[in-house]
Amino acid sequence: MIKVSGLKKAFKNTEVLKDINFEVKDGETVVIIGPSGSGKSTLLRCLNYLEKPDAGLIDIGDVSANTERVKKPTINKLRMQTSMVFQHYNLFKNKTVLGNITYPLTASKKFKKEEAVEIGEKLLGQVGILDKSKQYPVALSGGQQQRVGIARALAADPHAILFDEPTSSLDPEWVGEVLKVISDISKKEKTMIIVTHEMDFAKEIADRVIFMADGHIVEEGTPEEIFDNPENERTRKFLRKYTNHSGSIEEETIEPELVTV
Amino acid sequence: MNFDIGYMIEILPQLLVYIPITLYLAIVSMIIAVVIGGVLSLILVNRTPVAVQLSKLYISFFRGTPVLVQLLMIYFGLPQLFPWLNSISAVNAAIIAFSFNTSAYLAEIFRAALTSVDKGQTEAAISTGLTYHQAVWGIVLPQAVRNAVPATGNMFIGLIKNSSLAFTIGVTELLAQGKLLATATLQFFEAYLAVGIIYWGMTILYSWMQKWYEAKINKPYEA
């Protein structure tokens, strides 16, 4: 389980996270939505300690950290509790696809080479990319790279996986295959927090949805509550914009002859 | 026109035997320069307080003054300040001067190579549970080396040629021997052309080796 209370983070004079409180139960899939600059990514990065929070408590699994006076060994333990899937994949360019998964296992987790290879090949099979295991990341499409990124995040068997806009830099044709892999993992009762702009995907996969704006959690609830009956005006406004963006043409009356391509 | 190609070919063997001393000067200086430059670049990248100011001063001085001045300063000037350096050999003085000079340039090359590795690589490494140290050695450094090889190779070629300056403090290397032959027979052009061709040959050979190495380390990055 993940428990965050009073989390704060500022960059210079800009407060990006203002007193964030939330919980994620084991096996739960939580989707965070919200406008750009609302602090969603920073929140994930604080959980993984890629950013150092200014204040607040973070409990993940059996590690708890008071971010104001946490020491290095605790930070390392906390970091091991989660792993991250990045918007830009960030695969190790100097390692093969398989090496991307086995290197962290052998270098830090003290796995034997054969064990690491076994884990790596199993996971690459799961994300459907085993045939590329000897290739280098540069030879893969964006979608394939992100699937490797997901396999790498799974390899260490962390308490939770954090997805930071996993499909935002993908060409539209690759989005589907990545979302499918994520949704397969979610069915396996893995604890996950996903920051995404894919609203249909969020609706389908989330056990719970959190809407963030201006460094606050504005509203949270089941997908039905948030998408169908949002209580807060900010949430309504945000979702209205999004449904307009994805072009729900049927709701607007457009004269067919005016539609040009 | 008076050009004796027969003489030039005749003296080649007498010059070729000085290749080892020239290569010795260049290679040993390069190894020391890589070590010093590597340390300096890490200081620059991590902005270690105090050390970073001292490093910048060092780099500024050794890039900002002629290598010949540095060579003379180290060989003739240092023993005046530190009498125990009186016994320093000309070869060692040359190696010190060349490696200090080259290290100042390499520090900047390495710094640029390190910072050009995408920050996401370090973040991904750390988020998979690697320590900062492991991230740097296993992920960042190999990519930085690839970025640094072309410019570092240029520095080495420069070093092979600059090693000829060692003759000014009495090291008998390739150029010094050429000068000797030239003044003995007064066939200056033949002697110096022979010397030039030998330097040229060495740099061409080295360029081939570097090309082969670059092709090898670039393989993972080519689709």
Complex ipTM, two decimals?
0.85
pLDDT grade for A252, boundaries at 50, 70 and 90: very low
Q: Which residue in the set A48, A88, A108 is minimally distant from B130, CB to CB?
A: A108
Number of independent structural domains in chain A = 1
Say how far apart CA B92 and CA A14 lie, in whole Å.
Answer: 56
Domain span at A45: 2-89+160-258
CA distance B144 to chain A (A): 10
Say how far apart CA B196 and CA B161 lie, in whole Å.
Answer: 9
Inter-chain touch A152–B123, beta carbons under 8 Å: no
- pLDDT score, position A189: 86
Q: Are A164 and A128 in contact (CB under 8 A)?
A: no
Nearest to A85 by CA among A173, A6, A167: A167
Average pLDDT value over all residues in chain A: 90
CB proximity list for B24: less than 8 A, separation 6 or greater: B91
CA distance B108 to chain A (A): 23
Question: Residue A12 class from Cβ within 10 Å (0-12 exposed, 13-18 middle, 19+ buried)?
Answer: exposed
CA distance B38 to chain A (A): 20
CATH number of the domain within which B68 lies: 1.10.3720.10
Is A96 among the domain residues?
no
- pLDDT score, position A260: 46
Say how far apart CA A205 and CA A28 lie, in whole Å.
Answer: 10
Backbone φ/ψ region at A128: left (φ over 0), alpha (ψ -120 to 50), beta: left
Q: Which residue in the set B130, B134, B223 is minimally distant from A138, CB to CB?
A: B223
Would you state the structure tokens that stand for residue A81, as one six-digit string?
Answer: 């509790």
- pLDDT score, position B87: 85
Residues of A with CB under 8 A from a CB of B: 48, 50, 76, 79-80, 82-84, 86, 88, 90-96, 103-104, 107-109, 136, 138-139, 152-153, 155-156
Q: Percent of chain A beyond pLDDT 70?
A: 93
A90 contacts on B by Cβ (under 8 Å)? 118, 120-121, 123-124
CA distance B216 to chain A (A): 12
* C-alpha R_g of chain A: 19
- CA A52 to each of CA A7, A45, B129: distance values in angstroms, whole numbers, following the listed order: 11, 8, 16
- CA A233 to each of CA A225, A240, B71, B219: distance values in angstroms, whole numbers, following the listed order: 13, 10, 75, 54
- pLDDT score, position A244: 62
Inter-chain touch B124–A84, beta carbons under 8 Å: yes
Q: Are A7 and A46 in contact (CB under 8 A)?
A: yes
- pLDDT score, position B187: 92
* Residue A166, φ and ψ in degrees, nearest 5: -65, -15
Is A23 among the domain residues?
yes
Is A47 among the domain residues?
yes
Instruction: Say yes or no to pLDDT of A245 above 70.
Output: no
Q: What are B24-53's pLDDT values in tens digits? A: 999 999 999 999 999 999 999 989 999 999
The pLDDT tens digits along chain B (223 residues) read 788 899 999 999 999 999 999 999 999 999 999 999 999 999 999 899 999 999 999 999 999 999 999 999 999 998 888 888 888 999 999 999 999 999 999 999 999 999 999 999 999 999 998 988 899 999 999 999 999 999 999 999 999 999 999 999 999 999 999 999 999 999 999 999 999 999 999 999 999 999 999 999 998 898 7
Q: Percent of chain A beyond pLDDT 90?
A: 80
Number of independent structural domains in chain B = 1
Q: Are A165 and A41 in contact (CB under 8 A)?
A: yes
The number of beta carbons lying within 10 Å of the beta carbon of residue B64 is 8
Q: Which residue of A has its CA nearest to B118?
A: A90
Inter-chain touch A103–B220, beta carbons under 8 Å: no
Q: Are A188 and A28 in contact (CB under 8 A)?
A: no
Is A71 among the domain residues?
yes
Instruction: Say yes or no to pLDDT of A248 above 70.
Output: no
Q: Which residue in the set A80, A94, A138 is minimally distant from B129, CB to CB?
A: A80
Mutate to test the interface with A, among B119, B127, B134, B221 (most CBs of A within 10 A): B127
The number of beta carbons lying within 10 Å of the beta carbon of residue A73 is 8
Is A127 among the domain residues?
no
Is A102 among the domain residues?
no
Q: Which residue of A has its CA nearest to B130?
A: A108
Instruction: Say yes or no to pLDDT of A166 above 60.
Output: yes
Q: Which residue of B has its CA nearest to A109?
A: B129
CATH number of the domain within which A65 lies: 3.40.50.300
Q: Which residues pair with A23 in a beta bridge?
A: A3
Say how far apart CA A203 and CA A207 lie, in whole Å.
Answer: 9
Nearest to A54 by CA among A24, A3, A21, A15: A15
Instruction: Say yes or no to pLDDT of A249 above 80.
Output: no
Show the DSSP H helices in B86-187 as ranges.
90-115, 119-127, 132-135, 141-162, 174-185
Say how far apart CA B131 and CA B33 lie, in whole Å.
Answer: 28
Instruction: Say yes or no to pLDDT of A93 above 50.
Output: yes
Q: What are A34-87's pLDDT values in tens digits? A: 999 899 999 999 999 999 999 999 999 999 999 999 998 999 899 999 999 999
Domain span at B151: 5-221
Q: Which residues pair with A191 in a beta bridge?
A: A160
